[in-house]
Structure 1
Amino acid sequence: MAHEPGHDAPNHHSQFDLLRQRRFLPYFTVQALGAFNDNVYRQAIIGLLGAMAIAGTISTGTRALYTQLAPAIFILPYFLFSATAGQIAEKLEKQRLIVITTTMEIAIMSLAAVGFVLQNMPLLLVALFCTGLQSTLFGPVKYSILPSVLAPEELTGGNGLVEMGTSISILLGMVAGGSIFLLAGASGPYVAAVAIILLAVAGNLVARRIPRVPAGDPALGIDWNVLRQSWRIWKLTRRQLAVRNAVLGVSWFWFIGTVLTAQLPMYAEANLGGTQALYIFALALFSIGVGAGSLLCEKLSGRTVEIGLVPLGALGVSAFMLDLYFARPGAALAAGLSVREFLDAPGSWRIVADLTGIGMFTGFFVVPLFALIQSRTPRGELARVIAGMNIQNSLFIVAAALIGIAVQQLLGWSIPQLFLALAIANALVAIWIFTIVPEFAMRFVSWLMVRTLYRLELHGIEKHVPDEGPALIVCNHVSYMDALILAATIPRPVRFVMYHKIFNVPVMRWIFRTARAIPIAGAREDPALMERAFDAIDAALAEGGIIGIFPEGALTRDGDIAPFKPGVERIVRRAAEAGRPVPVVPMALCGMWASMWSRRDSRLGRMRVPRRFRAHVVVMADAPITDPDVTAQQLEAKVRALRGDRA
């Protein structure tokens, strides 16, 4: 009997469902509290410096020195200890490590509390260095834990929540930390001391609620030679081309964020004509944009690791940053504006849209990159790859700060000119990355085509497509878009086997080749190509990949499913004979016959009928078949039952 929509729960799950589950919520809360507390602490230090300057206990020059030293002191441990942190995160059970790092946070914040009470700036800077060390240890486990607790289809949504939580926590922490000395007055040091300790204790208590997560490589021997291991770990990030460039993309995200947020205080004053409150408002727009973009990634990606969003994010960031330059290329015409007065001024809403848009498209850019790194990196190397990425991120952050200072001090650039240069540089870097790794651009084109042309409804894919290990997908074949639709709905990368003449369709050929599709021909047509195809299929399955085939061997000419060819039996039995049995997942496309690029009508008819645009397509999956003696006829019957009467 055919599946009817609704018999199998469709893919309508929300990423917010994760916030009700113990496997995710305590971890999410811990990382959000950590980001919040770090920024409360750092802004409270700045507040204390201001209070000491007003009281005359510290000179203006000393205050400026401490203000400039603080970011460098915080980031220094990332250079010194990321390699060691990555190894520790790989070797230890992850929940235990999070409890250890949050316990360290309690001790560090207790030391910082003494510094606040005594108003001892050297002691506060020592504690700030230790905070950087604690963050360095937490960094690799922060992202390497996600693939262990989330299914592949949840990775994008989970990373979106983490990025949203981090960006909003940073913003709220800066506001809260900066407000302590404004609101508490002379009691500010004591309020700051109590606040940071309570936040650290709360983080530790929540960390104890995180379920145990196995170590990535418990047998790993730790190399304490920082320089040697830093080099080795950084090289781990470069093993796979897509991962290497995803890591580069994340580092570039930090470069852009550092330049933008470092310039916002002066930009709000000199170019927007505002006060400190307007700076916080501008930062809030960027942070909210990042949070919104991060959350939207799951909806736009269809719950897959959709790196096609990365080019979209890069283009959007450049476009909005370019518009930000033209929106206010010169100095403000007024000064001392409140947020309300700024919003009432002409052209202000354009700047609001630009700052929010930059943040939102930054979310589109970075969330899929994190998900790709997590999904493509072997589980036993992931923490070290994240550590290597943190080392590179630190270099990009420092470079961004130095370049920002250099072009303004030496070249005399204004802040809008710096934004213009960053917009152009971002576009050039994106083009370079996407040229080196065409998979990013290919996924963008295929994502754009599928999401524009079809309305997809999914049933059974999360339940029946294995999260890991080899699998063979068999599906009916209706149009030239079938492979792209399945690739857009299956969380893992799929290598499709397709008739060589379809493989060579203009434009689509570039997409198929970049996706490593396997062209095949009939035995009479090209026996050598057919044998090469079967060898490639077997090798891909042996590596634990997913292969997608259309056993009909050609597009349907009448909307019905043609008899399955016996090649599928050969694939399954060849793997079984090699001691590598492969589960076969039946899938069906419903509604494609009425869409564009099927053979229902002539080419002219297909292109001119509006109802074929945005066709409603249902993608069905059924339980895997593990019998190595399964026949083509049995698989055909399964797919027919899945599709039912809906062609």
Structure 2
Amino acid sequence: MADGTPPHEPPQGSSHSQYALLRQRRFLPFFLTQALGAFNDNVYRQAIIGMLFWLGVSSADKTLYTNLAPALFILPYFLFSALAGQIAEKVEKSRLIRITTAMEIAIMSLAAVGFMTQNLTVLLVALFGTGLQSTLFGPVKYSILPTVLHPRELTGGNGLVEMGTSISILVGMIIGGMVFNAAGDNGPWVAGALVIALAVTGHLVSRAIPPASAGAPELKVNWNPIPESFAVLRLAKKQLAVRNAVLGVSWFWFVGTVLTSQLPTYAEVNLGGSATLYIFALAMFSVGTGVGSLLCEKLSARTVEIGLVPLGAFGMTAFLLDLSLSRPDAAGMTGLDVMGFLQQPGGWRTTIDLLGIGLFTGFFVVPLFALIQSRTPKSEMSRVFAGLNIQNSGFIVLAAVLGLTLQLPSFEVAGVRVPMPELDIPQVFLALAIANAAVALWIFTIVPEFLMRFLSWMLVRTLYRLRPGGIDRIPDEGAALVVCNHVSYMDALILAACIPRPVRFVMYYRIFNVPVMHWFFRTAKAIPIAGARENPELMQRAFDDIDAALAEGEIVCIFPEGSLTRDGEIAAFKSGVEKVLERRPVPVIPMALRGMWTSMWSRRSARAEAGRLGRMRAPRGFRARVEVVAAAPMDGAQVDAGMLEAKVRELRGDHA
């Protein structure tokens, strides 16, 4: 990188807080550039609406804009996303961002001409241009983050980006809507000057973004959009967890589109408010999304914690359901401002519902973006996000169509009259809550990893106060073997909660088969093992599975003591670790658990009954403090069991 900081590594001595990124050149210019872009897009679109009202144009012209504007903005995503993904893969990322922000200056200059001449056609052409510019910027917006951020910074970085986007959209809509009211006769000139000034500012800020390498500079661009669109959609579906994360992000856009498109009428009819109350309702949703996005890093302990996704989905459903019930009928008053609405019965309940929906939406979408970034090859990432943008566009169009047609008594297709349920807006919210629950359960059923991570996240965060150290030493990519002391039946779940990559745990088959926990271990693809005397076939199969996982570039964790500690001390490491490394000498990361012996699910006594697990040790206090520390990787070809045991003992020290 230009500032001398290697990609994927946070600067030495940097704070663990995501807000520290806002002081670093590798992130801040990009963050400001994308926020300014979202802000300018919404200033522009709202300013057009403001101009139409300022001019007092006919209802026909307003209808023309209302129908054409969304279509013109989203059409480039269908037409050019595949091309944008290839370009973002091939071109150095900071250069591409500067190109797109320079395009924005040209597009907004055309928009300024449209404002000054009060020409709706020119404004709509420029609106198509903003959609094209957003299409080109979209793939690089998310694919640049894994290039400049460490994996443990991905959740925090995505949270900041989502917060910045949500707030920029909201403030842009407010400012754009005020331009013509505030400027009066100078409105067209002020609007034109404002969008140009914002575009120029965004371009100047983008010039401070450090170089970020292209994902696949040798890629040959396919200029035919149709087959390439199918190709990028196939890339997005290649890996099951990524495919369903992409589906989850698209569902987020579906829910957001249905909700926000209903808010103007809902604020007027059901809340009895004015246009100001609509902005307030939108603000509550946007602020909630921003806050939820920022909280993801804290809740995930700086890992890519997909366990937050079910939490977000269930929270969205609960608050959508309550929103549908909070104001089911038309309001008895009209023209209420914000304070007047809050003084009405149920005003605060509706406000909290909108905040809650936004909050849990942030919990839902940020880990999904981080998962896509962490599990997609960097040479394919821009194209995967291009496929995501195509799918998002389809979901947005579907949401807009359904949001409208569900409220009609019927509509006609090819001469056939199709009856519709004619829902009111609270009933639309109720239908959305039910659909959200159904989609979430479907995703979690076909990819149980999401639900497994949620349950393990809840269990670990409830019972322990984790303090990870040195986790950044775990390699971002490629095979590695983690060795750790074995204290309790919860060791695997605790390590999985701290290590940012998926881990294949090797564990004694009796622990693997513990009721309830068995589902967690099986879903996490743990590898059961037995001693040579107990079950030589299972032992050999375990070694084969370990080698296969390492060959695939996965992380495997083994507990070389072979069993739980009986007295809190580390037992001698067995030779199994050497057998693994003889077959495949991958890097080895020694890790140590501190404070587990006095926590739940550690061995209480050495006198366990034959064939049964030892009894649980009662903890000294609820939510015991547990530390997980990692050392630098060691050369797998140069270590033996004794060396690894000594290193783990050194890491653990006296903190049993």
The 2-side partners of 1:401 and 1:606 are apart by 57
Which of 483, 486, 492 is 1:477 aligned to? 486
Matched with 2:190 is 191
- Distance in 2 (CA, whole Å) between partners of 1:370 and 1:627 is 33
- The corresponding residue for 2:416 is none
Partner of 1:645: 654
Distance 1:93 1:67, change over 3 A: same
For residues 32-83 of structure 1, give each alpha carbon's deviation from its aligned partner in whole angstroms, at most 9, with x where no partner exists: 0000000000000110111111xxxx31122122122111110110011101
Which of the residues 429, 435, 458 maps onto 1:419? 429
1:334-391 deviations in Å (ceiling 9; x for gaps) = 1100101111112111111100000000000000000011111111111000000100
Query: Aligned partners of 2:604 and 2:22: how far apart in 1?
Result: 46
Native 8 Å contact 2:47 2:180 kept in 1 = yes
Q: Which residue matches 1:367?
A: 366
CA contact (8 A) 2:14 2:20 kept: no
Q: How much does 1:234 deviate?
A: 0.7
Query: Given the alignment of the two structures, is residue 495 of structure 1 paired with residue 499 of structure 2, yes or no?
Result: no
Aligned to 2:222: 223
CA distance in 1, matches of 2:37, 2:302: 27
**What pairs with 1:16-35 in structure 2 (closer than 5 Å)?**
16-35=19-38
Q: Which residue of 1 aligns with 2:78?
A: 79
Label 1:606 to 1:282 Cα distance change in 2 as closer, same or farther (>3 A).
farther
Aligned to 1:47: 50
The CA deviation at 1:12 is: 6.7
Which of 450, 461, 465 in structure 2 is aligned with 1:455?
465
Match of 2:627 in 1: 618
The alignment partner of 1:352 has SS state of helix
Greater displacement, 491-500 / 620-629:
620-629
CA contact (8 A) 2:600 2:619 kept: no
- What is the CA RMSD across the aligned residues, in angstroms? 1.6
The residue number in structure 2 matching 1:295 is 294
Per the alignment, do residues 475 and 608 of structure 1 end up closer, same or farther by CA in structure 2, a change over 3 Å counting?
closer
Q: Secondary structure at the match of 1:495?
A: strand
Tell me which residue corresponds to 1:579: none
Partner residue, 1:532: 541
Letter in 2 for 1:96: R
CA distance in 1, matches of 2:25, 2:353: 37
1:22 CA drift (Å) = 0.6
Structure 1 stretches lacking a partner, 5+ long: 1-8, 577-581
Q: Hey, what does 1:5 align to over in structure 2? A: none
Counterpart in the other structure of 2:589: 585
* Secondary structure, counterpart of 2:406 in structure 1: helix
Q: CA deviation at 1:627?
A: 5.1
2:454 maps to 444
Kept in 2, the 8 Å contact 1:569–1:629? The answer is: no
Q: Deviations over 1:543-599 (max 9, x none)?
A: 2211111001111111111110011111122213xxxxx111111101111111111
Aligned counterpart, 1:4:
none
SS of 2:475's partner is: coil
Shift of 1:164: 0.4
The alignment partner of 1:472 has SS state of: strand
| Corresponding position of 2:127 | 128
Contact 2:307/2:450 (CA < 8 Å) preserved in 1?
Answer: yes
Query: Match of 2:601, SS?
Result: coil
Q: Deviations over 1:242-299 (max 9, x none)?
A: 1111000000000000000000001110011111110000000000000000000001
Does residue 173 of structure 2 align to residue 139 of structure 1? Answer: no
Task: Look up the equivalent residue of 1:583 and give its one-letter code.
Answer: P
1:514 aligns with 2:523: yes
Pair 1:210 & 2:214 matched: no
Q: SS where residue 611 of structure 1 aligns?
A: coil
Deviations 1:310-334 (A, max 9, x none): 0000000000000111111111121
Range moving further from structure 2, 262-271 or 60-69: 60-69
Contact 1:273 1:335 in 2 (8 A): yes
Q: Does 1:468 align with 2:477?
A: yes
Q: Does 1:257 align with 2:243?
A: no
Q: Which runs of 5+ in 2 are unaligned?
A: 1-11, 410-420
Question: Which amino acid in 2 is paired with 1:51?
Answer: W
1:180-232 deviation digits (Å, cap 9, x = unpaired): 01111111111110010011011111111111111111111111111111111
Alignment pair present for 1:597 and 2:606: no
Give secondary structure in 2 for the equivalent of 1:455: strand
Q: CA deviation at 1:606?
A: 7.1
Question: In the aligned structure 2, how far is the partner of 1:224 from the partner of 1:458?
Answer: 47
Distance 2:510 2:617 in 1: 25
Q: Is the 8 A contact 1:596 1:606 kept in 2?
A: no
Question: What is the CA-CA distance between 1:174 and the residue it aligns to?
Answer: 0.4
TM-score by length of 2: 0.94
Q: Deviations over 1:74-131 (max 9, x none)?
A: 0110011101111111111111100100000000000000000000000000000010
**Residue of structure 1 aligned with 2:18, choices 15, 18, 31:** 15
One-letter code aligned to 1:309: L
How far apart, in 1, do the equivalents of 2:587 and 2:240 lie? 29
Rounded Cα–Cα distance in structure 2 between residues aligned with 1:388 and 1:194? 35
Report 1:312-351 matches (<5 A). 312-351=311-350
Counterpart CA distance in 1 for 2:551 and 2:446 is 27
Q: 1:374, 1:610 → 2: CA distance? A: 38
CA distance in 2, matches of 1:155, 1:106: 30
Tell me the amino acid that sits aligned with residue 540 of structure 2.
E
| Alpha-carbon distance in 2 for matches of 1:443, 1:12 | 27
Amino acid at match of 1:29: L
TM-score (norm 1): 0.95
1:548-563 to structure 2, matched below 5 A, reads 548-563=557-572
Counterpart for residue 631 of structure 1: 640
What SS does structure 1 have at the residue aligned with 2:584?
helix
In 2: Cα distance, 1:369 partner to 1:318 partner? 18
Task: Return the alpha-carbon distance in structure 1 between the equivalents of residues 509 and 84 of structure 2.
Answer: 48
Secondary structure of the corresponding residue to residue 253 of structure 1: helix
Give the superposition deviation at 1:629: 3.1
- The C-alpha deviation readout for 1:484-531, integer Å capped at 9, x for no partner, is 100100111111111111111111111111111111111222222212
Would you say the 8 A contact 1:233–1:384 is kept in 2? yes
Contact 2:599 2:619 in 1 (8 A): no
Distance in 2 between the 1:379 and 1:336 partners? 52
Partner Cα separation in structure 1 for residue 373 and residue 18 of structure 2:
17
> What displacement does 1:436 show?
0.5
1:613 Cα deviation from its structure 2 partner? 2.6
Q: Distance in 2 between matches of 1:285 and 1:325?
A: 16
Which whole-Å CA distance do the structure 2 matches of 1:139 and 1:103 have between them?
15
Give yes or no for contact 1:175–1:280 (8 Å, CA) kept in 2.
yes
